[in-house]
Structure 1
Amino acid sequence: MKFAFLLYEGVEPIDLAAIGVISMAKRVVPELSYLTVAIDGGLQRLSNGLRVAPDFAFGDCPEVDAIIIPGGPGWPTASEDGAIRSFLQRRSGSATLVSVCTGAMILAAAGLLDGRVATTKCEVRAPEPSPLAVLAHEHPEVDARKALVVDTGTIITGGGVSLCIDAILHVLATRIGPDEAAEVARIIEYTHAWQANKARLPTLA
């Protein structure tokens, strides 16, 4: 299974944990692979100033099985970027789209969550509005729910920030196998955290 991780200006670095899970998962499922992709080949500055070089631009990105759309304070600008929206719309037919945190807002802006149940980041520090509330208000055609993961088959939306780990474990459990996902959780020392998160938040389909 091949993953692509979308990069854009203002991605939250903690969302890179999604790549970290896949990297560690290769020890359990060696055939897994991943790449990074952005509008062009230029360095992408994350929200903390860290600059990351994508492997591919939109125009030369190979076919993948899943595209991970991260969140971060850059999501409003990314949501308005026609190139990003078009890339996701084109790939939605061939790849599973997996948003983590406020990456769901980008999918919503592209019209890809219309008529679907979806989740996104909930917890914030006042006076910042909850992205889940923003999703419900600005995209009434989306059934916004507080959840750990929402899996609608071709599109998966995950909860906020560190729950990006849970979203990727869910992908591994449902697309590769539950035993493999459990072993990945064990080797990243996340077994109990994953169980606790699944106990406190629903997984919706």
Structure 2
Amino acid sequence: MRALQFGIFIYDGVEPIDLATFGVLSMARRIAPEIAICTIAPHPGLVTLANGLKVTADFGIDDAPVCDLVIVTGGPTWTAQANSPATVDYIRRVHASRRIASVCTGGMILAASGVLDGAPATTKREVVPPETSPIEVMRAIYPQIDVREAVLVEGPGGVVTGGGVTLCIDTTLHLIASMLGEHVAQETARIMEYQRAWRANREGFAPVAGA
């Protein structure tokens, strides 16, 4: 069976909890061993996440492998990536040839690249006052995007944007379901002991799928 390559885009300042995307895929490999995972950053090597956690990116955007899906993570430094010509160009290239998704404020980076124009999308909502909610920033800066408040939004071409922080788990499970089958996602949620939380999130903060 052909390997299914997932890439997780990280950068200095990413919230460590957004690496739950990697964790969910890691658990899913127990059910679907054809899953392959790599981390991609603006440059390969050391990446310092928010509050000091250090990880090593497998690849930079110039030598990254072709991925079936790239998930863009979020963090308080999303603005630097949104203003980086190299990063937004990489996102456009991935979008043109494969699938791309985001979690949390990674959606703001997708917005800056233009791949969300004319489509529904979401991003992080909750902040510590007096911070401005990123979802309100998305509405203000990118009026061409149909901003929704949801667990996740799937737009045209399979572009998926996820809500904030722990909703990255739900978004990754949704992506697994769409690429490997609902049974793989459900079994992954079961072995993660996340079934009730996943169901509660979908019932209380409904996804917008297939928009």
1:31 matched to which residue of 2? 34
Cα distance in 2 between the residues matched to 1:7 and 1:171: 18
Q: Does 1:175 align with 2:179?
A: yes
How does the TM-score come out when normalised to structure 2? 0.95
CA shift digits 1:115-135 (9 cap, x unpaired)? 010001111111111111110
Counterpart pick for 2:54 among 51, 71, 75:
51
How far has the Cα of 1:48 moved from its partner? 1.3
Deviations 1:65-111 (A, max 9, x none): 00010001110111111111111111112221110000000000111
Tell me, yes or no, if the aligned pair for 1:15 and 1:164 is still in contact at 8 Å.
yes
* 1:107 is aligned to 2:110: yes
CA distance in 2, matches of 1:169, 1:135: 24
Q: 2:140 and 2:196 mapped to 1: Cα distance?
A: 34
Indicate the SS of the match to 2:96. Answer: coil
**Contact residue 45 and residue 58 of structure 2 kept, 8 A:** no
Match of 1:160 among 161, 164, 179: 164
Which runs of structure 2 are paired with 1:69-148 in the superposition (5 Å)? 69-148=72-151
SS of the aligned residue for 1:48 comes to helix
The amino acid across from 2:167 in the alignment is L
What is the identity percentage for the equivalent residue pairs of Structure 1 and Structure 2?
Answer: 47
Partner SS for 2:52:
coil
User: Which amino acid in the other structure matches residue 172 of structure 1?
Assistant: I
Q: Aligned Cα RMSD in Å?
A: 0.9
Cα deviation, 1:26-83, whole Å, max 9, x if unaligned, reads 0011101110111212311101111211111111111110001000111011111111
1: distance between equivalents of 2:40 and 2:17? 17
- Does the CA contact (< 8 Å) of 2:45 and 2:59 recur in 1? no
Q: Distance in 2 between matches of 1:19 and 1:42?
A: 17
Amino acid at match of 1:193: A
Corresponding residue of 2:194:
190
CA–CA distance in 1 between the matches of 2:204 and 2:95?
Answer: 30
CA distance in 1, matches of 2:132, 2:37: 33
The residue number in structure 1 matching 2:203 is 199
Question: Are 1:12 and 1:71, in contact at CA under 8 Å, matched by a contact in 2?
Answer: yes
Superposed structure 1 runs of 4+ greater than 3 Å apart:
none
**Where does residue 64 of structure 2 map in the other structure?**
61
Are the aligned partners of 2:151 and 2:167 in contact in 1 as well (CA < 8 Å)?
yes
Assess if the C-alpha contact under 8 Å between 1:92 and 1:154 holds in 2: no
Gaps of 5+ in 1: none
Q: How many residues align?
A: 205
Q: Does structure 1 retain, via aligned residues, the 8 Å contact 2:71–2:102?
A: yes
| 1:164 shift after superposition | 0.1
Asked whether the equivalents of residues 43 and 54 of structure 1 are also in contact (C-alpha less than 8 Å), the reply is: yes
